[in-house]
């Protein structure tokens, strides 16, 4: 086993940084010496957009740039030639974001009752030493930034820094939309007990009084700062880049029909229905369940899970919400898994997946196995040209979906159970 | 209307003057091995009214078709295009182009429903960013629809000569129609490849018909980049005997002595690689600067990712130098059935091996398939035409290609180069069979699953959702939703 001294902060972060540095240098070497690039295609999209910015153009002049201009701004130092050392600047930023997210995780773990430095370090290592996380950011995918935004959001809320939490929430939603699901959980969590105000004692208070008591200072602060941040950023970006900003950052994600095969349970149905002749809508194949897909997804992620768990364990609620959001989404690729993986170190210490190793190992095997089955079918399609859409890919995506629902059920049960996972005051 | 019929034959064949039969029927000679080009020049007023009104919408229009069946040719008919129907045009008034004009024009070549309003053109962008015409392409196996249209709309029912000439288009290998608003004329040229064919040119009192029976010759003092020609010229209906001719002109298109074939590497998957196999690596001229290019015309089912075709190492590993031009727009994600544009075209500079010896070699072009509509078998076969492969060499002293009576401009790629560029064409040869197309079997969704996919997906999602709801319900029923300490208090109160 790994000696526990390695989980002390200095070695913990040194190893995490060394891992990323090694991958970064290796990536530069591979890019320079092999026709097969280490750098992610998305990174070339970001840096192309930054180069356009540097020339005074709009980042949306680059096809498939579907992000906030903030990202292109952030990566402006990469605008030089791709042989320059500064070209890797963005990857360094993403890797640093990983480390910062890991540091926030560590701080939040330590704030929990009875957790030693080594033990919290070991859980933080699930993120910091995770090769998948390190690879994704050093290849230049921006998902690491989401990791730091969501952990910082949770950290700010737990620290009662409501203004900061609001700013981060607004920024996160501006950046990638999906963090809006955390707003109801945080608002629900910010009750009198959690924010240290006087609790509403009178059980017989009128509805009006209850509503008035619901409006706490913390909730107002969060609402105002998050909305203000979100709107200010949007107004700024809209004034600079106009309609293309709205189109590519937001509207594209609402109207897109992602027909290319991905992990989503809806994928095959989306392909089938997108190809259906609109003039023969009465045909037997038109089962438009996917048009209602947002209902279970948003009900779970924005309403039911926060209501049931947020007050008991905000971190687990955010994990379960993200898990539900990704599982029930119409599009699902492996980088979305990072969105919930960042919360795992906070959930696992009190999880039945660890308490009951058989349960934990079964969940892990099923999650990996159904994904592997899908990947095998996807490989047959993508590289061998075999028509595995039906039944292979379809069935494996449904099996992966069912596995995720089962794991989500476990997380919900754990989150709602009466154990103290809340941070000490 | 004027007509010009030209036979170009190899130097070792030909027609003896005594075998040439000229009478009031026209001109005839025994079968021999030759190419043939018929060219008609018409004024706008000689066209059917509806055609003339469609042409009004264009300031220039060039339609070029090449047969997908491999054929042999001779200079000066050296130019090659991807097999299929290419349309290059400039609208009369920029920006106010009516797509239905293009569509009704295309109906002459193959039946299509213009109410759907497809036929969306693209524009290729060259390195210099010089203005380029709009372009459109569609695969077209043969000219039968065009021949039918000619015989019913243009020829009179009793005009047997016209009818039989329309029918002859079925064996043509090429067709060019060019219209220029400035000159108010339409030139229609049909080309028959090098093969044994009878010489027969009917006389018509309604037009002047010139006939040339020519072969490549070498007049003294032939200027560089020029083609020398000798043979006989005659005009039908005139009493004059055929006159011998010897002349030369600069040629934009020439034949190189190498050939190529293309094939997709297997397995093709969803990201097929098109392999070009070339018989030679040496430029056709040693004293000129020559570069080798492939001009790909890709139907909407397949496309090249212009962002992928970048980076020295990557390109070099495929024996490519750089992507020099690409048509826009090209959607890099959408399935074929939601893509508006006809497809795309790209100009790639190839990187032949630099060793001194002339050697056979290959280059690979990475491409991507779009999703296609589901089918009964789970597979759908698509055809991708051969590219045009040529060496582009700088000419020595700005030749006036327009002096060439057989010049073929507006082939799609010529405007991407300097106007004095000479194109040395590499001959396309089919890998197997006689067609210059590559076939890919694209995996698609099997239609047999349709009903099950709808019901099954909904059921599994409903069950998964129900399971999570149940877990939520039982968790709240057991422990409430308040934080632990408070829940404990409430329990005590009870």
Q: Does B221 touch chain A (CB under 8 A)?
A: no
In this complex, do B469 and A405 lie within 8 Å of one another by their Cβ atoms?
Answer: no
Asked if omega into B76 is within 30° of 0 (cis), the reply is yes
Chain B positions touching A265 (Cβ under 8 A) are 457, 460-461, 464
State the nearest Cα–Cα gap between B462 and chain A, in angstroms: 9
Question: Measured between CB atoms, which of A33, A328, A413 is closest to B471?
Answer: A413
With a cut of 80, say whether residue B421 has pLDDT above it.
Answer: yes
**A255 three-class SS:** helix
Of residues A44, A259, A289, nearest to B457 (C-beta):
A289
Amino acid B260: pLDDT: 95
CB contact under 8 A, B472 and A328: no
Are the Cβ atoms of B445 and A48 closer than 8 angstroms? no
| Greater model confidence, A359 or A284 | A359
pLDDT exceeds cutoff 70 at A170: yes
Residue A130 confidence (pLDDT)? 94
Percent of chain A with pLDDT over 90: 60
| DSSP bridge partners of B295 | B347, B388
Identify the band that residue A26 occupies on the pLDDT scale cut at 50, 70 and 90: very high
Per the CB < 8 Å rule, is A405 touching B464? yes
Residues in B closer than 8 angstroms to A37, CB to CB, are: 311, 314
Nearest residue to A335 (alpha-carbon basis) of A17, A42, A64, A27 = A42
Residue B278 has pLDDT above 60, yes or no: yes
Please give the pLDDT value at position A277: 66
Chain B residues whose beta carbon lies within 8 Å of the beta carbon of residue A308? 472, 475-476, 481
Q: Which two tokens stand for residue B203?
A: 């006389």
Which residue in B317, B464, B487 is closest to A402 by CB distance?
Answer: B464
Which residues does chain B have within 8 Å of residue A416's beta carbon, measured at their own beta carbons?
A: 472, 475-476, 478-479, 481
Pairing of strands B368-369, B185-202: unpaired
Q: Measured between CB atoms, which of B270, B338, B453 is closest to A382?
A: B270
Report yes or no: B161 at the A interface, CB cutoff 8 Å. no
For residue B211 the two structure tokens come to 């006939």
> What is residue B162's predicted lDDT score, i.e. its pLDDT?
81
Can you tell me the distance from the alpha carbon of B406 to that of B216, in angstroms, rounded to the nearest whole number?
13
Integer Cα distance of A276 and A255 in angstroms: 17
CB B423 within 8 A of CB B351: no
Q: How many CB pairs under 8 A join A and B?
A: 199
pLDDT band at A194 (very low <50, low <70, confident <90, very high): confident
Question: Bigger pLDDT: A201 or B111?
Answer: B111
Q: Any alpha helices (H) in B67-173, and if so which ranges?
A: 99-106, 144-149, 160-168
CB contact under 8 A, B472 and A304: yes
Res B175 pLDDT > 70: yes
What local confidence, expressed as pLDDT, does residue B118 receive?
Answer: 57
Per the document, the length of chain B is 494
- pLDDT average, residue stretch B12-19: 78
Strand-pairing partners, residue B348, are B294, B323
Quick check: B125 pLDDT over 70? yes
Contact A371, A280 (CB under 8 A): no
User: A27-35: long-range contacts (C-beta < 8 A, 24 or more apart)?
Assistant: A27/A88, A27/A91, A27/A138, A27/A139, A28/A88, A32/A83, A32/B313, A33/B313, A34/B313, A35/B313, A35/B314, A35/B316, A35/B317, A35/B318
Facing B371 at nearest CB: one of A194, A260, A308: A260
Closest CA to B429 of B214, B256, B259: B259
User: For all residues of chain A together, what is the average pLDDT?
Assistant: 87
Q: How much is the average pLDDT of A30-41? A: 86
Task: Over range B193-197, report the average pLDDT.
Answer: 91
Contact status of B459 with chain A (Cβ, < 8 Å): no
What pLDDT is recorded for position B490? 45
Q: Is a pLDDT exceeding 50 seen at residue A97? A: yes
B chain contacts of residue A284, beta-carbon cutoff 8 Å: 450-451
Q: Tell whether the model's pLDDT for residue A161 goes beyond 70.
A: yes
Q: How many CB atoms lie within 10 A of CB B455?
A: 12
Q: How far apart (Å, rounded) are the C-alpha atoms in residues B4 and B234?
A: 10
Q: What is the pLDDT of residue B492?
A: 43
* Chain B: closest CA distance from residue A389 (Å): 5
**Residue among A34, A176, A37 nearest B307 (CA):** A37
**What pLDDT is recorded for position A196?**
66
- Kindly indicate the confidence band of residue B119, based on its pLDDT and cuts at 50, 70 and 90: low
pLDDT tens digits, A113-151: 668 888 999 999 999 999 999 999 999 998 889 999 999
Label residue A252 by pLDDT band (50, 70, 90): confident
Distance CA A122, CA A364 (A): 18
ipTM of the complex: 0.90
Which of A28, A40, A63 is best to mutate for the B interface (most B CBs within 10 A)?
A63
Rounded Cα distance, B129 and B71, in Å = 34
Instruction: Read off the pLDDT of each residue in A103-112 and give the average, rounded to a whole number.
Output: 90
What integer is the mean pLDDT of A37-55?
91
pLDDT of residue B224: 75
Angstrom distance (rounded) from CA A293 to CA A304: 16
Q: What is the pLDDT of residues B340-376, one digit of tens each?
A: 888 899 999 999 998 878 889 999 999 999 999 999 9
Between A51-65, A274-288, B141-155, B216-230, the lowest mean confidence (pLDDT) is in A274-288
pLDDT for B381-414, tens place per residue? 999 999 999 999 987 776 777 778 888 888 889 8
Residue B494: pLDDT over 50: no
* φ, ψ of residue B134 in degrees (nearest 5): -75, 150
Instruction: Tokens 């495929």: give the residue.
Output: B318
Contacts of B257 (CB under 8 A, 6+ apart): B280, B284
Task: Write out pLDDT tens, residues B284-338.
Answer: 888 778 999 999 999 999 999 988 888 888 899 999 999 988 888 888 888 888 8
Tell me which chain A residues have a C-beta less than 8 angstroms from the C-beta of B332: 63-64
How far separated are the first and last CA of chain A, in Å rounded? Answer: 33
Task: Decide if A394 contacts B453 (C-beta within 8 A).
Answer: yes
Q: Which residues 319-348 in chain B show a CB within 8 A of chain A? A: 332-333, 335, 337-338
- Distance between CA atoms of A250 and A173, rounded to whole angstroms? 10
**Structure confidence by residue, pLDDT tens digits, A415-425:** 888 664 444 43
Query: Is residue B194 within 8 Å of residue B235, measured between CB atoms?
Result: no
Could you tell me the pLDDT band of residue A198, with boundaries at 50, 70 and 90?
Answer: low
For the entire predicted model, the pTM comes to 0.88
Contact at CB, A304 and B449, closer than 8 angstroms? no
Tokens of A7: 């989980």
pLDDT at B129: 62
The mean predicted confidence, pLDDT, of chain B is 86
Residue A283: which pLDDT band, with cuts at 50, 70 and 90? very low
């Amino acid at each position: 086993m790994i000696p526990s001294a390695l989980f002390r902060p200095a070695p913990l972060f040194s190893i995490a940084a060394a891992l990323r540095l090694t991958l970064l240098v290796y990536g530069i070497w591979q890019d320079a010496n092999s026709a097969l690039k280490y750098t992610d295609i998305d990174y070339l999209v970001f840096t192309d957009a930054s180069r356009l910015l540097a020339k005074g153009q709009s980042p949306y002049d680059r096809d498939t740039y579907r992000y906030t201009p903030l990202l292109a701004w952030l990566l402006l130092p990469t605008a030089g030639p791709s042989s320059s050392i500064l070209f890797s600047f963005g990857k360094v930023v993403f890797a640093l974001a990983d480390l910062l997210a890991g540091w926030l995780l560590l701080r939040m773990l330590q704030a929990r009752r009875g957790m030693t430095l080594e033990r919290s370090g070991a859980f933080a290592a699930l993120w910091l030493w995770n090769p998948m996380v390190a690879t994704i950011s050093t290849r230049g995918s921006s998902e690491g930034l989401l990791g730091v935004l969501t952990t910082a959001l949770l950290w700010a809320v737990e620290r009662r820094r409501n203004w900061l939490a609001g700013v981060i929430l607004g920024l996160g939603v501006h950046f990638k939309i999906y963090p809006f699901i955390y707003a109801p959980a945080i608002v629900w969590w910010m009750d009198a007990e959690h924010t240290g105000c006087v609790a509403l004692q009178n059980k017989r208070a009128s509805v009006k009084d209850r509503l008035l008591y619901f409006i706490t200072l913390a909730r107002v602060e969060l609402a105002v700062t998050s909305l203000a941040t979100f709107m200010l950023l949007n107004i700024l970006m809209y004034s600079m880049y106009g309609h293309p900003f709205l189109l590519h950052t937001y509207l594209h994600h609402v109207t897109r029909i992602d027909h290319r095969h991905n992990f989503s349970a809806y994928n095959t149905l989306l392909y089938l229905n997108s190809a259906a002749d609109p003039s023969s809508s009465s045909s037997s194949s038109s089962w438009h369940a996917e048009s209602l897909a947002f209902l279970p997804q948003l009900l779970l992620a924005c309403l039911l899970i926060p209501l049931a768990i947020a007050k008991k364990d905000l971190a687990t609620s955010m994990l379960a919400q993200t898990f539900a959001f990704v599982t029930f989404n119409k599009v699902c690729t492996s980088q979305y898994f990072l969105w919930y993986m960042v919360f795992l170190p906070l959930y696992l210490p009190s999880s039945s997946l660890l308490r009951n190793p058989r349960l934990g190992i079964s969940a892990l095997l099923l999650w990996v196995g159904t994904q592997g089955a899908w990947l095998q079918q996807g490989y047959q399609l993508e590289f061998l040209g075999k028509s595995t859409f039906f039944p292979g890919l379809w069935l494996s995506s449904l099996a992966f979906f069912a596995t995720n629902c089962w794991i989500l059920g476990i997380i919900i049960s754990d989150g709602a159970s009466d154990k103290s996972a809340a941070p000490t005051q | 209307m004027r007509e010009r019929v030209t036979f170009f034959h190899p130097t070792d064949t030909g027609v003896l003057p005594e075998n040439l039969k000229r009478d009031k029927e026209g001109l005839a000679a025994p079968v021999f091995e030759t190419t043939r080009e018929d060219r008609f020049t018409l004024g706008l007023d000689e066209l059917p009214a509806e055609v003339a009104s469609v042409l009004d919408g264009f300031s220039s229009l060039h339609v070029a078709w090449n047969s997908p069946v491999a054929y042999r040719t001779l200079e000066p008919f050296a130019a090659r295009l991807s097999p299929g129907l290419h349309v290059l045009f400039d609208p009369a008034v920029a920006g106010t182009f009516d797509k239905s004009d293009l569509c009704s024009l295309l109906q002459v070549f193959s039946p299509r429903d213009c109410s759907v309003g497809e036929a969306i053109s693209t524009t290729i962008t060259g390195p210099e960013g010089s203005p380029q015409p709009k372009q459109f392409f569609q695969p077209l196996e043969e000219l039968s629809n065009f021949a039918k249209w000619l015989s019913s709309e243009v020829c009179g029912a009793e005009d047997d000569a016209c009818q039989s000439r329309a029918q002859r288009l079925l064996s043509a290998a090429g067709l060019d129609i060019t219209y220029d608003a400035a000159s108010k004329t339409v030139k229609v040229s049909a080309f028959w490849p090098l093969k044994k064919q009878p010489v027969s040119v009917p006389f018509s009192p309604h037009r002047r018909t010139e006939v040339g029976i020519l072969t490549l010759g070498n007049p003294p003092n032939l200027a560089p980049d020029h083609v020398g020609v000798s043979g006989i010229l005659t005009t039908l209906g005139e009493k004059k005997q055929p006159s011998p001719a010897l002349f030369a002109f600069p040629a934009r298109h020439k034949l190189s002595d190498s050939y190529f074939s293309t094939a997709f590497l297997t397995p093709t998957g969803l990201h097929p690689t098109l392999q070009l196999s070339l018989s030679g690596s040496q430029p056709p001229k040693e004293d000129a600067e020559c570069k080798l290019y492939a001009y790909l015309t890709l139907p909407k089912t397949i496309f090249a990712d212009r962002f992928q075709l970048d980076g020295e190492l990557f390109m070099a590993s495929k024996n490519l130098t750089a992507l020099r031009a690409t048509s826009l727009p090209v959607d890099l994600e959408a399935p074929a059935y939601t893509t508006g544009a006809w497809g795309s075209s790209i100009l790639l500079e190839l990187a032949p091996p630099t060793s001194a010896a002339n050697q056979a070699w290959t280059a690979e072009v990475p491409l991507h398939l779009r999703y296609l509509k589901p089918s009964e078998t789970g597979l759908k076969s698509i055809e991708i035409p051969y590219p045009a492969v040529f060496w582009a060499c700088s000419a020595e002293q700005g030749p006036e290609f327009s002096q060439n009576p057989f010049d073929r401009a507006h082939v799609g790629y010529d405007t991407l180069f300097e106007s004095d560029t000479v194109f040395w064409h590499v001959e396309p040869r089919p890998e197997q069979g006689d067609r210059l197309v590559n076939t890919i079997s694209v995996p698609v969704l099997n239609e047999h699953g349709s009903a099950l996919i709808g019901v099954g997906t909904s059921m599994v999602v409903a069950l998964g959702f129900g399971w999570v709801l149940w877990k939520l319900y039982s968790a709240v029923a057991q422990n409430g939703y308040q934080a632990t300490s408070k829940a404990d208090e409430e329990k005590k109160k009870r």
